[in-house]
Amino acid sequence: DTEVTQTPKHLVMGMTNKKSLKCEQHMGHRAMYWYKQKAKKPPELMFVYSYEKLSINESVPSRFSPECPNSSLLNLHLHALQPEDSALYLCASSQDRGLEQYFGPGTRLTVT
């Protein structure tokens, strides 16, 4: 199994809603990542978890809150988002931090 899965595939939320994005991998990888990708741009790193501990936060606003409940799961909790947060949110994992990363299909988020 070399797959990273993400749910939901699409999400539309209002600015007062609370929602969560989920990511799962069963490759035994110990590093997991959240990226944000705007149209026609490369992915931008948001958070890195290594061995279930947050190791990098790229100065992301607190309305994005990551959580790593166990080594296979990574969540991104969303609250009070802005329309400019609309983007494709990508999860990735790697065997260890710094090794090649495998990406999920992404969640297309629209904030209205």
Partner 1 sequence: GEDVEQSLFLSVREGDSSVINCTYTDSSSTYLYWYKQEPGAGLQLLTYIFSNMDMKQDQRLTVLLNKKDKHLSLRIADTQTGDSAIYFCAERNNTDKLIFGTGTRLQVFP
Does 4 bind partner 1 (CB under 8 A)? Our answer is yes
Quick one: which of 22, 30, 79, 97 contacts partner 1 (CB under 8 A)? 97
Can you give the three-state secondary structure of 57-102, one letter per residue?
ECCCCCCEEEEEEECCEEEEEEECCCHHHCEEEEEEEECCCCCCCE
Quick one: which of 42, 53, 62, 70 contacts partner 1 (CB under 8 A)? 42
- Rounded CA gap, 98 and 64, in Å? 23
At 104 the three-state DSSP class reads coil
Q: How far is the CB of 69 from partner 1 (least distance, A)?
A: 22
Burial class (CB in 10 A: 0-12, 13-18, 19+), 30: middle
Q: How far is the CB of 70 from partner 1 (least distance, A)?
A: 22
Total residues interacting with partner 1, rule: CB under 8 A: 21
Quick one: which of 27, 45, 60, 73 contacts partner 1 (CB under 8 A)? 45
Quick one: which of 32, 90, 109, 111 contacts partner 1 (CB under 8 A)? 90
| Binding residues vs partner 1 (CB under 8 A) | 4, 6, 40-43, 45, 48, 56, 90, 92, 97-98, 100-106, 108
